[in-house]
Amino acid sequence: MKQVKVGIIGFGTVGAGVAECLLKNGELLAARTGVKPVLAAVADLDITTDRGVALPAGVLTQEVNRVLEDPAIEIVVELVGGTTVAKEFILRALRAGKAVVTANKALLAKFGGELFAAAEKGGADLYYEASVGGGIPIIKALREGLAANRFHAIIGILNGTCNYILTRMEQEGAPFAEVLKAAQAAGYAEANPALDVDGIDTAHKATILASLAFGEWFRLEQMHVEGIREVALQDIQYAATLGYRIKLLAIIREAGGQVQLRVHPALIPARSLLGTVDGVFNAVLVNGEPVGTTLYYGRGAGRDATASAVVADILDVGRNLAGGSRRRIPAFRHHRAFQDVLPASEIRSRYYLRFQVQDRPGVLALIAGVFGQHSISIASVTQKEAAAPSVPIVILTHEAREADMQAALAELRGFEEVTEKPVLLRIEELP
Amino acid sequence: MKQVKVGIIGFGTVGAGVAECLLKNGELLAARTGVKPVLAAVADLDITTDRGVALPAGVLTQEVNRVLEDPAIEIVVELVGGTTVAKEFILRALRAGKAVVTANKALLAKFGGELFAAAEKGGADLYYEASVGGGIPIIKALREGLAANRFHAIIGILNGTCNYILTRMEQEGAPFAEVLKAAQAAGYAEANPALDVDGIDTAHKATILASLAFGEWFRLEQMHVEGIREVALQDIQYAATLGYRIKLLAIIREAGGQVQLRVHPALIPARSLLGTVDGVFNAVLVNGEPVGTTLYYGRGAGRDATASAVVADILDVGRNLAGGSRRRIPAFRHHRAFQDVLPASEIRSRYYLRFQVQDRPGVLALIAGVFGQHSISIASVTQKEAAAPSVPIVILTHEAREADMQAALAELRGFEEVTEKPVLLRIEELP
């Protein structure tokens, strides 16, 4: 049986989960795969904090070079995070011909090209299943299980923190700020939540999925990104009465060679599978030809789910090493399977709009008139009786072009009858 | 670029789908994977029926030996079905050292051991992703993406025909026989529906999943199998009012080294993900340690979904051939990860029971008394007012042992107050 020595850099939450999985399931994994992963070294600056895992004597070290310079260590697991030292560690490992397993989506999204080149030059494997969707083997699905397909849509709930916040807002009838605070106290959101709630983390993951599906390593800047800070409780509640739920979605679509790359909150049918995904769970819908629609669901983050993905990569790389088939699946294979990235202004979508308007005759006609001039067709209007001087009107539209919608809203903001900035949310039709 | 010549045996629905996918997506697949699959021969006795696919000249043949004896053909795709000639074709190909891709679940369930031995002897790959869950890459998930895990539960909706029938019964308020007839007319059910509606097809697939998860090639006879013929519309409707839906489930569970292997209709929460899976779609829930609960969803059968899985296997095998890593993942690796198969009589479950009883005082007390003597605790009782001489009582129990439940029911059938054979359905708690 092939033994592969594994070194981990970064003994934080995920590092401890990976070490525990290797120690606890090691014999089973060896029997199952024919490859025995052996935990040879775990490097971290902090070697005193109790991580709840009893490492064998001599494994824990402050010396990162014990991982990077030991020729016996064939697989380096990078779990430091961030885009500075993590990058250096990965590059050094790859240059030395060591296989690298990482969960670092931000690093991949930013410096993917450089890392892939180093992997190619070093003749080394670079695997990153844990970077998207936690325990869900979605990267393997795109590269292998669904490899026969032309992809038409990948629509994902990829950030557990945002999904947790939106779920709690709906369940508790509480506003964003209050739920965020509670999530931070419970450890479900970071002290600085920007990366999550502004959609950046989702966008990092979306660029990875889009790149694998369409064969070009996309940049974050090519993606239209909106977060969930502006999602009002009121809109979650209106959406619910209309049969929808609001989710932060990564939306990657292809039609006629045009690829859409976007991250934003959107209304989806409450009774759809994606609409049923609650709390910290993630899910990714993949529509392709010939497979049709498939969906993958699981925990999107956390020690255990991430460990499952990291160890799966270790086993995959181990099988490559055992069979002499390094780079059987390169870190990234360029194969441009599209023509252009569609500008956000050209995207067509249905819309949910909420206007706060003066309660007097003719206001709805005014809005409908402006929409009509911009080729926007109204599908439904909800206006409740109210005793206040200003009332909300909720409008769902048929499919319209983003640029037309933005022009119509800009025009409407000029009217005194519209008393607040209108709320715009997109309605995503699921394949 | 590595070219691999592929020969297909069986030009039926799926064979045509595979040929079309290879012809239509071939260039994309080559660019994506670095392996170019080339369709060299398609063998079928019937070479006149129009399959809607234009094969290149000279590819279609009645001579199966053009596939089996051409040394240039490295991958043989068996799509004949059945357990007679299909077995011979596969054995001949494997003995010749050719890789085999098949969707034949019945053959694998019945003769897996023999096929795996032939693959090992021939040094050949034998892949069978399409045998379970159609387009859903669930076999790859169990063997690779989730390979790090100890599996605790695999619960699947694995037969599209049964799920279609149960969905239509609920949606249309129609009884089994009527919906089956409509399904046959629409091509969703076979003229002889036994394999599907009696749970055999689900059981074939379940033995494959269980075997991969627990490392022993299980036999169909080790599985407790019930189909859906006995599912009454009335029970679907009662279940709905209680917040449940009835699905035909494959249930593979492990606890304390004891494995449960069973296929039967069961009540699951209507608002769960599995409960949301309608029509011909399949889904598999996998619970493991450390990953927690994950779920995979997609079309379970049909030309296109099956073609997606078959071609994914072709690409996987092609990557093995290109990289010199044949048998990187053997057809089956024995690794007994459990102690015993739990006898069906020892399984513990919650139950849904419907009794038709005489409408007179003391009947409920009688039932409750017998249950109490057999250590069965009642969770809820629903009895509607009725003007008839006999009335239905629906009882949900807490967890009880199957043997106790069967003994209680046998005793109750002896009382004249119970006017019909009681209906028993299990309630499956989802992880």
Query: Does residue A302 register a pLDDT over 80?
Result: yes
Q: Provide the whole-model pTM.
A: 0.97
Give pLDDT tens digits for B37-46: 999 999 999 9
Check residue B384 and give its pLDDT: 77
Of A32, A144, A320, the CB nearest to B316: A144
CA-wise closest residue to A111 among A198, A18, A207: A207
Give pLDDT tens digits for B282-306: 999 999 999 999 999 999 989 999 9
Check residue A71 and give its pLDDT: 97
Q: Which helix (H) or strand (E) holds B152?
A: strand B150-157
Dihedral sign from CA coordinates of B42, B48, B53, B56: positive
Of A137, A304, A335, the CB nearest to B145: A137
Check residue B387 and give its pLDDT: 75
Q: What is the b/e burial string over A205-215, where b = at least 16 CB atoms within 10 angstroms of the residue's CB?
A: bbbbbbbbbbb
Give pLDDT tens digits for B150-190: 999 999 999 999 999 999 999 999 999 999 999 999 888 99
Identified catalytic residue from B205, B247, B384, B421: B205
* Helical packing angle, A160-172 and A233-241, nearest 10°: 70
Per-residue DSSP letters for B205-219? Answer: HHHHHHHHHHSS---
Give pLDDT tens digits for B320-354: 999 999 999 999 999 999 999 999 999 999 999 99
Give pLDDT tens digits for B365-399: 999 999 999 999 999 999 877 778 889 999 999 99
Give span(s): CATH 3.40.50.720, chain A: 2-132+303-323
> What is the mean predicted confidence (pLDDT) over A285-304?
97
Query: Does residue A174 register a pLDDT over 90?
Result: yes
| Residues of chain A above pLDDT 90, percent | 96
| Residues of chain A above pLDDT 70, percent | 100
Give pLDDT tens digits for A366-378: 999 999 999 999 9
Give span(s): CATH 3.30.360.10, chain B: 138-299
Give span(s): CATH 3.30.70.260, chain A: 345-427
* Helical packing angle, B402-413 and B363-373, nearest 10°: 140
CA quadruple B268, B271, B277, B279: dihedral, nearest 10:
90
Average model confidence (pLDDT) across chain B: 96
Rg (CA), chain A: 24
- Nearest-by-CA chain B residue for A319: B328
Q: Do B299 and A291 touch (CB under 8 A)?
A: yes
Count Cα atoms within 13 angstroms, Cβ side, for A337.
27
> What is the mean predicted confidence (pLDDT) over A288-315?
97
* A315 vs B contacts (CB less than 8 Å): 144, 147-148
Q: Among A167-181, A237-251, A381-395, B129-143, whose mean pLDDT is lowest?
A: A381-395
pLDDT category, B360, cuts 50, 70, 90?
A: confident
Q: Do A312 and B135 touch (CB under 8 A)?
A: no
How close, in Å, is residue B278 to chain A by CA atoms? 10
Within A324-384, residue ranges assigned H as helices are 363-373
> Catalytic: B24?
no
How close, in Å, is residue B374 to chain A by CA atoms? 39
Query: Does residue A386 register a pLDDT over 80?
Result: no
Q: What single-letter amino acid sits at A215?
A: G
CATH code 3.40.50.720 for B2-134+303-323:
yes
The CATH number for A138-299, chosen from 2.60.40.1510, 3.30.360.10, 3.40.190.10, 3.40.50.1980, is 3.30.360.10
CA distance B114 to B108: 9
Give pLDDT tens digits for B234-274: 999 999 999 999 999 999 999 999 999 999 999 999 999 99
Q: How many helices (H) and strands (E) does chain B have?
A: 13, 18
Average model confidence (pLDDT) across chain A: 96
Query: Does residue A410 register a pLDDT over 90?
Result: yes
Q: Do A337 and B308 touch (CB under 8 A)?
A: no
Check residue A187 and give its pLDDT: 87
Q: Do A294 and B291 touch (CB under 8 A)?
A: no
The answer to whether A258 and A339 are in contact (CB under 8 A) is: yes
Interface with A, mutate which of B24, B150, B296 (most A CBs under 10 A): B296
Of B150, B312, B330, the CB nearest to A148: B312
* B328 vs A contacts (CB less than 8 Å): 319-320, 323, 325, 328
CA distance A401 to A163: 27
Check residue A54 and give its pLDDT: 96
Check residue A61 and give its pLDDT: 98
The residue written with tokens 């009947």 in the block is: B363
Of B29, B146, B305, the CB nearest to A292: B305
CA distance B429 to B396: 13
CA distance B169 to B179: 6
Query: Does residue A24 register a pLDDT over 90?
Result: yes
Q: Do B295 and A297 touch (CB under 8 A)?
A: yes
* Helical packing angle, A200-214 and A105-122, nearest 10°: 40
Cβ-based neighbour number of residue A270 at 10 Å: 14
SS3 call for B356: strand
- Nearest-by-CA chain B residue for A271: B276
How close, in Å, is residue A390 to chain B by CA atoms? 38
Q: What is the b/e burial string over B40-70, where b = at least 16 CB atoms within 10 angstroms of the residue's CB?
A: bbbbbeeeeeebebebeeebbbeebebbbeb
Check residue A389 and give its pLDDT: 84
Relative to beta strand A400-401, strand A348-358 is antiparallel
Check residue A254 and give its pLDDT: 98
Strand partners, B64: none
Give pLDDT tens digits for B18-60: 999 999 999 999 999 999 999 999 999 999 999 999 999 999 9
Of A31, A148, A314, the CB nearest to B308: A148
Check residue A361 and give its pLDDT: 86
SS3 call for B299: strand
pLDDT category, A211, cuts 50, 70, 90?
A: very high
Check residue A230 and give its pLDDT: 96
How close, in Å, is residue B251 to chain A by CA atoms? 19
**For B345-427, which CATH class?**
alpha beta
Q: CA A368 from chain center: how many Å?
A: 36
> What is the mean predicted confidence (pLDDT) over A186-208?
95
Per-residue DSSP letters for B219-269? Answer: -GGGSEE--STT--HHHHHHHHHTTEEEEEEEEEEEETTEEEEEEEEEEEE
Check residue A93 and give its pLDDT: 98
Q: Do B308 and A288 touch (CB under 8 A)?
A: yes
Identified catalytic residue from A36, A140, A205, A247: A205
* A31 vs B contacts (CB less than 8 Å): 215, 333, 335, 337
Q: What single-letter amino acid sits at B97?
A: G
The answer to whether B424 and B407 are in contact (CB under 8 A) is: no
The answer to whether A104 and A35 are in contact (CB under 8 A) is: no
In sequence order, which residues have a C-beta less than 8 Å from that of residue B176 and are 6 or more positions away? B165, B169, B228, B229, B231, B232, B233
- Nearest-by-CA chain A residue for B275: A273
* A327 vs B contacts (CB less than 8 Å): 323
Give pLDDT tens digits for B209-225: 999 999 999 999 999 99
Check residue B156 and give its pLDDT: 98
CA quadruple B190, B195, B199, B202: dihedral, nearest 10:
-90
Q: CA A358 from chain center: how many Å?
A: 40
Burial class (CB in 10 A: 0-12, 13-18, 19+), B396: buried
**For A2-132+303-323, which CATH class?**
alpha beta
SS3 call for B306: helix
φ/ψ of residue A269, rounded to 5: -55, 130
* B277 vs A contacts (CB less than 8 Å): 273
Count Cα atoms within 13 angstroms, Cβ side, for A57.
0
Check residue A35 and give its pLDDT: 97
pLDDT category, B77, cuts 50, 70, 90?
A: very high
pLDDT category, A260, cuts 50, 70, 90?
A: very high
Check residue B183 and give its pLDDT: 93
